[in-house]
Chains A and B, each alone.
Chain A
Amino acid sequence: MAHPAAATASAHDVHAHELGFVRTYIFSTDHKMIARQFLFLGLFMMVIGGLLALFLRWQLAWPETPVPLVGRLIWPDSEGVISPAVYNMMFTMHATIMIFFVIMPILAGAFGNFLIPLMVGARDMAFPRLNMLSFWAGALAGLLMLAGFFVEGGHAAAGWTSYAPLSAIPQYSGVNWGQNLWCISLFVLGVSSMMGSINYITTIVNMRAPGMTMFRMPLVIWAMFITAILLLLALPVLTSAVAMLLFDRVFGTNWFNPAGGGEPLLWQHLFWFFGHPEVYILILPAMGIASDVLSVFARKPIFGYRAMAFSIIGIAFLSWVVYGHHMFVSGMNPALGTSFMITTMVIAVPSAIKTFNWLGTLWGGNIRFTVPMLNGLAFVSMFVIGGLSGIFMASTPVDIFIQDTYFIVAHIHYVVFGGSIFGAFAGIYYWFPKMFGRMMNDTLGKLHFWPTFVFFNFVFFPMHILGVGGMMRRIYNPMQYEFLTWTEPWNIFISVSAFLLGLGQIPFVINFLWSLFKGPKAPLNPWSANTLEWTAPSPPPHGNWGAALPVVYRGPYEYSSPEVPEDYLPQTRRLTTAGASSRAH
């Protein structure tokens, strides 16, 4: 929580009036408060998304047996057994919640909001009211999504991809209001993300502090900038598609229903034209966070800064022309399969460049294994596995077999859990002192990191083996198939590891809540970092800076520069003559 005393005491001439409780904590236009709101929203939803995953894992390891402890309370009719319809609902909602209400709010919402004005040297976002509206639209979307659990017929159960016509015609899935709410919620979320991305882009383009050129921006800001452009262009495609789907369901239009002249594959084209850029919306901010964290704790300039920035741009551009690799066996013309394979192979190149540059950043460093660094390193190594397994799917003949198996489940979790979530943890541990003005506990942080890292791999690595062995994703009970009976011990191993992975999050919850209220006060710059946010008070007041905006003299990654005796050189510090320096802040 913020400290009202600190917030008001330093509110200068810029924001002289004191704000009431509601305007400070609830309907705040301060980008830092909106960032915290997005963070709390994301963490709260992560609990729900995570619990859903544990139910799924129970079913896969011990199919059709009652869920212990809570099963009989939640499903009294089936005596605690998860039914196939409920199972479909749970994996649909696990993915939907994790993607749209955990990773996007935390990475793009919380870190985008918190870091952009602070790291480019602005006082706030370009449109603070629009920013506030963006959060509340997002919260409303979350509420609508959660409401689906309580309506008759249950929540949406057609997968997070909601392929038509299963999703378009209520009789096919047996779900009516749940699927409608899913559409409405994502529509509202689309509006929210549009307001957010307009803000991000405008702020970065127009409101940089004196001296902050585009190529002096930290990579995390580059990542947020490109993510915002992707959000601006990709989310409206989904927003339109869910509107069309809702019209099919409620008003009897036939966009996707072949019986009325519609085309089921149109949904897939629209969905993946959004859906593939979405994967990069989820991973790019984490790449940016990891770049900054690695550089800070290796005490070294990032290796190949420009190549890193250009690969973010390259990935974003290519993300539009690879979407068809989700549809190799969909019935789309096979000739298109070949062209989508070429672009998909090409997109691996900028990802490889980024990986090698991260390695280059570690080389010759003076590496400190802080908790943010451990999470940043986990991000890099897990992203490598997720990236490499993607090559299997890019190759069209191999994809014929791999498509819709657990290999895909393994791949996507290495990218969005191993990647995005470790990136999010790196960011939370790294910026917590600035965000809340208090330090997190190091021991608890490590007690969180190591079980998470180990059990994450125990859960998701064996899924590659299941997938290669042919186990389909989204099946309720693998034991129904003779050719999958061998998967039973693996599924039990994965599920036990998943429960331990879940338990591994408890130290994080304790650490987060305890540090929020009782953590030791954070100094201005606890990590000896260069970027602008560390020159503002912890936490920064409304308006961020005093009377004058910071002035930027150099890039963000001047660590161990021979020009100064310290191993860091803040962007705002002016060197008058070589070696001699005066602090500008």
Chain B
Amino acid sequence: MMRWLPENISTYGAEIDWLFYLIYYITGVTFILVAGAMIIFLVAYRHREGRRATYTHGNATLEIVWTIVPALILVILTFLSVPGWTRIKSRLPESDIHIRITAKQFNWEVTYPGPDGKFETEDDQTFDNEVHVPVGKPVILHLTSRDVIHSVFIPQARFKQDAVPGRVIHQWVEVTKPGKYEIPCAELCGFGHSGMKGFLFVHTAEEYQQWLKEKWPS
């Protein structure tokens, strides 16, 4: 089997993946049915001398059925999509880890509020293109941009959100597997767009404490 979605490392990724595969199977079956019917019709009703096509303008029952069935499937898909969307994009969980990501041409400025937990104070620290988070804890991201629209994309975490100049967008993610992951920019932001790459470092709880101690020694 060929590779489809990349490995998932976030708590809400499984929900996205489940919906993806559900739609994949529904559309896949629909395609096979439609293409199959088409091929059968093309072969069975190919031109033969002397044969006459069936003279019909339609069939009301059939048309009602093939209107209602797809409509129902789409209504169900809509209902299945709402809870995940609300959980991922509309609500922020409780968390004491806040990270500000300021996008600019062409890198990510990652700011930690430091021990006092507040931005714009003396103990803030900013890193270029490095986001450090602990495993298994929700993290609140404050996204903004200095110049043009960028988009933070963490494929394995199923995370994507535009960073828009002039506003701060609050998002969250909770990752489940330690490691180093790439953060490309998903929105065209100029000639350096495809080189605009950051890294997400997911640490175990102990490693994360260690990293904090290193950066804020006092």
Using a CB–CB cutoff of 8 Å, the interface residues on chain A facing chain B are 83-85, 88, 157-159, 163, 165-166, 172-174, 258-259, 262-265, 298-305, 307, 329-331, 334-335, 337-338, 341-342, 345-346, 348-349, 352-353, 355-357, 359-360, 362-369, 377, 380-381, 384-385, 388-389, 391-392, 394-398, 400-401, 403-405, 465, 468-470, 472, 474-477, 480-483, 486, 557, 559-562, 567
Contacts and interface: CB of A to CB of B under 8 A. Distances in A.
B194 A477 contact: yes
B203 interface: no
B172 to A, nearest CB: 12
Contact of A359 (B34, B81, B84, B169): B34
A395 B97 CA distance: 30
A264 B15 CA distance: 31
Interface string B54-87: 1111110011001100110011011011101110
A120 to B, nearest CB: 21
Given A84-B191, A88-B188, A469 B20 contact: no
A304 B27 contact: no
Given A159-B188, A345-B78, A404-B186, A307 B58 contact: yes
A229 B113 CA distance: 54
A178 to B, nearest CB: 13
A223 to B, nearest CB: 18
Contact of A400 (B34, B51, B88, B195): B88
Interface in B145-173: 147-149, 151, 153, 155-156, 158-162, 164-167, 169
Nearest to B90: A334
B152 to A, nearest CB: 9
B155 A384 contact: no
Given A88-B188, A307-B63, A359-B38, A364 B74 contact: no
A362 B186 CA distance: 43
Interface of B: 2-6, 12, 15-16, 19-20, 23-24, 26-27, 30-31, 34-35, 37-38, 41-42, 45-48, 51-59, 62-63, 66-67, 70-71, 74-75, 77-78, 80-82, 84-86, 88-90, 105, 147-149, 151, 153, 155-156, 158-162, 164-167, 169, 181-182, 184-195, 197
B151 A364 contact: no
Contacts of B182: 481-483
B194 A391 contact: no
A301 B55 CA distance: 7
Given A298-B45, A337-B89, A258 B166 contact: yes
Nearest to A490: B2
A481 B19 CA distance: 27
Given A334-B90, A404-B151, 17 more contacts: A172-B148, A329-B151, A329-B161, A349-B70, A366-B48, A384-B35, A388-B30, A391-B27, A392-B27, A395-B80, A397-B15, A397-B81, A397-B88, A468-B20, A469-B5, A474-B193, A476-B194
A401 B5 contact: yes
Contact of B148 (A165, A338, A356, A468): A165
A475 B188 CA distance: 8
Contact of A468 (B4, B35, B74, B164): B4
Contacts of A472: 153, 184-186, 194
A304 B64 CA distance: 11
Contacts of B45: 298, 362-367
Contact of B16 (A83, A381, A401): A401
A342 B193 contact: no
B57 A401 contact: no
9 contacts: A88-B190, A303-B58, A307-B58, A338-B82, A341-B81, A357-B63, A401-B160, A480-B195, A483-B156
A474 B151 CA distance: 13
B194 A362 contact: no
A403 B160 contact: yes
A396 B162 contact: no
B19 A165 contact: no
B50 to A, nearest CB: 10
Contacts of B89: 334, 337, 396, 400
Which 8 A/B pairs are nearest by Cβ-Cβ distance?
Answer: A258-B166, A364-B54, A470-B155, A475-B194, A304-B58, A397-B84, A388-B27, A334-B89
A562 B55 CA distance: 7
B126 to A, nearest CB: 21
Contact of B6 (A157, A349, A364, A483): A483
Contacts of A365: 41, 45, 53-54
A346 B5 CA distance: 27
Contacts of B151: 329, 404
A481 B70 contact: no
B77 A391 contact: yes
A303 B54 CA distance: 11
B165 to A, nearest CB: 5
A345 B23 CA distance: 12
Contacts of B192: 84
A567 to B, nearest CB: 6
Contact of B47 (A157, A367, A469): A367
Contact of B20 (A258, A303, A392, A394): A392
A385 to B, nearest CB: 7
Nearest to B30: A388
